[in-house]
């Protein structure tokens, strides 16, 4: 029984820590970019002038545009400006 309680406590701490490290959704200014041949979420994220980690900017673009796969040429995509 004490082993079960330790497992439950450890799981609760791990879940809490995971929630604490989740980034908040981007709510700053954006611009609309028309996707060109060769563009990807990562390449668009690299064009954002920011001190935030690149992975956070990639996540922002994916969430702002509900991106599930590759971008399509001509697709209009909202991109953070900072």
Q: What is the pTM of this model?
A: 0.71
3-state secondary structure of 2: helix
Q: Are 66 and 79 in contact (CB under 8 A)?
A: no
Residues 6+ apart with CB under 8 A from 49: 81, 82
Could you read off the pLDDT tens digit of each residue along the chain, which spans 82 residues?
666 656 665 555 555 555 456 568 899 999 999 999 999 999 999 999 999 999 999 999 999 999 988 999 999 999 999 9
């Amino acid at each position: 029984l004490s082993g079960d309680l330790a497992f439950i406590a450890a799981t609760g701490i791990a879940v809490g820590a995971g929630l604490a490290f989740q980034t908040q959704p981007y709510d700053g200014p954006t611009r609309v970019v028309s996707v060109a041949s060769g563009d990807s979420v990562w390449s668009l994220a690299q064009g954002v002038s920011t001190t935030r980690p690149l992975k956070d900017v990639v996540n922002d673009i994916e969430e702002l545009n509900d991106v599930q796969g590759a971008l399509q040429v001509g697709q209009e995509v909202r991109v953070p400006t900072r």
